[in-house]
Amino acid sequence: MSNELIATGGFVVLFALMAVRVPIGIAMGIVGIGGFASVVGWKPALNLLAQSPISTVTDFNLTLIPFFVLMGVLATNSGMSSELFRAGRAWLGGFKGGLGLASVGACGGFAAICGSSVATAATMTKIAYPEMKDAGYSDKAATGIIAAGGTLGILIPPSVVLAIYGFMTETDIGELFIAGVVPGILAVLMYMLTVRFWYGRQLPAAAPFRLSEGLAALRGVWAVGLLFLAVILSIYFGIVTATEAAAAGALLTAIIGFMRGRLTMTSLMDSLVEALRTSVAIYVVLIGATLFGYFLAITQVPQEITAFLTELGAGRYGTLALILLLFLVMGCFLDAMAMIILMIPIVFPVITQLGFDPIWFGVIVVMTVELGLITPPVGMNVYVINSIASRVSLVTIFKGVLPFVTIDIVRLLLLIAFPAIVLWLPGSMN
């Protein structure tokens, strides 16, 4: 049996397993070992199964994932998210649609210490949605703003998805984090402009701005600013690696939580258990992806796809457009992490062959994956919001995010046209 036929059969089995709700990490592991055995035999495949999970779990570069997950859980349980929203409301609430602007700002701030889009969307739904409804916001506007703001969680560093991309492509994770800063700020500003000018006429203003209230609210968000600056600046100036920054960030979050009386030993233990569960789930996916990657390598699928796409004659940007379109289509059916893990081993060789910068492509592909979080039929952020605000229909939430999908596409085109927006900050790192 030819390698091409084995690879095709592997993908068919993979999608069949995913269709019957087998977790993607398990599905990729099954196909990876089975496919590898079909090519080289069961003894090498079983040796691979014995060695690969251990090497993945003990990889030093990946230890930043549980630390950043723990940092986000501790920040949530310390009440930092609600303080961000209160500060945004105090400073922006007097504008037309001020609560919507505050929600976007709070999503961006929480993303800077969380790294998860789903967690950002869930947390802000609990905090911001009731206040927006009480202020007279429609369900469509309120949930659409939160769903879009939640996508910032996988772009603004520390981003778990960017870390996984760096691991899979052997790209410096610290540089990837720094590269996400400017596009993340740009995303926040463009979302705010969308709220102001798309929904502005429909949205009410909150209480007039009072400087005393604004200054008082800022006293509650110093912890978030300290955590973000400590992590990002230490990476930017080369003081620590991304992994060391993650460990320090988790420890600093715990210390701040105890100092402010927001964390107890009980809540710390609950946070550790929650972070452990999330980290184990991520590691299972990574182990499956590694096994699947060996299967792809032995069948030479990436090399053949690279040759096929480069021989199409579509040019560098034409080929890039095809790859991003594929991500957009798959985003309708897979979540963000699944797309990155499944597709990057296949398309990354094409990107390097075409001469694109891997750091720039990492940010571009994460922005493309963002769209999958708010587009049907999967739209993970939309389903998370629906599970909390259950009386709001999925259709209503999807309608609410349409303006933000449009602005996301504009932002994506802008960064493709001007790569320096992504690359100038990591290019100036020590």
| 186-234 residue pLDDT tens | 999 999 999 888 876 666 666 676 767 767 777 777 888 888 888 888 8
User: Please, what is the average pLDDT of the chain?
Assistant: 85
Query: Measured between alpha carbons, how far is 245 from 235 in angstroms, rounded to an integer?
Result: 7
CA distance 90 to 63: 38
Catalogue the E-assigned strands of 156-314. Answer: none
> For residue 362, with 0-12 CB atoms within 10 Å meaning exposed, 13-18 middle and 19 or more buried, which class applies?
buried
Query: What pLDDT shows up at residue 132?
Result: 85
| pLDDT value for 39 | 87
- Check pLDDT > 70 for residue 42: yes
- At 233, give phi and psi (nearest 5°): -65, -35
Q: What is the pLDDT of residue 1?
A: 65
Say whether pLDDT at 333 is over 80: no
pLDDT band at 360 (very low <50, low <70, confident <90, very high): very high
Query: Could you tell me if 349 and 323 are in contact, meaning their C-beta atoms sit under 8 angstroms apart?
Result: no
What letter does residue 210 receive in the DSSP assignment?
Answer: -
Residue with tokens 């984090």: 177
Mean pLDDT over 390-410 rounds to 90
> What confidence tens digit (pLDDT) does each residue in 106-120 have?
888 888 887 778 888
Q: State the burial class of residue 428 (Cβ atoms within 10 Å of its Cβ: 0-12, 13-18, 19+).
A: exposed
**Which alpha helices (H) appear in 203-335, and where do they start and end?**
211-218, 222-236, 242-259, 265-299, 301-310, 315-330
Q: How far apart are the first and last CA of the chain?
A: 51
**Lookup result for tokens 């550790």:** 272
Q: What is the pLDDT of residue 200?
A: 67
Closest by CA position to 65, among listed 134, 120, 115: 115
In the 8-state DSSP scheme, what is residue 61? G
Q: Which pLDDT score, from 0 to 100, does residue 93 have?
A: 74
Q: Provide the CB-side half-sphere exposure for 171 (13 A, CA).
A: 25
The reported pLDDT for the residue numbered 328 is: 82
Average pLDDT over residues 48-59: 87
Largest CA distance in the chain: 75
pLDDT in tens, 260-295: 888 888 999 999 998 899 888 888 888 888 888 888
Nearest Cα to 363, choosing from 167, 193, 159? Answer: 159
Q: Are 10 and 298 in contact (CB under 8 A)?
A: no
Residues 373 and 379 sit within 8 Å (Cβ to Cβ): yes
Q: Are 173 and 166 in contact (CB under 8 A)?
A: yes
255-278 residues labelled b (16+ CB within 10 A) or e (exposed): ebbeeeebbeeebeeebeebbeeb
State residue 430's pLDDT score: 63
Whether 102 and 89 have beta carbons less than 8 Å apart is answered as yes
Q: Could you tell me what percent of the chain has a pLDDT over 90?
A: 18
Amino acid at 400: G
331-336-337-342 Cα dihedral, nearest 10 degrees:
20
Phi–psi pair at 209, nearest 5 degrees? -70, 135
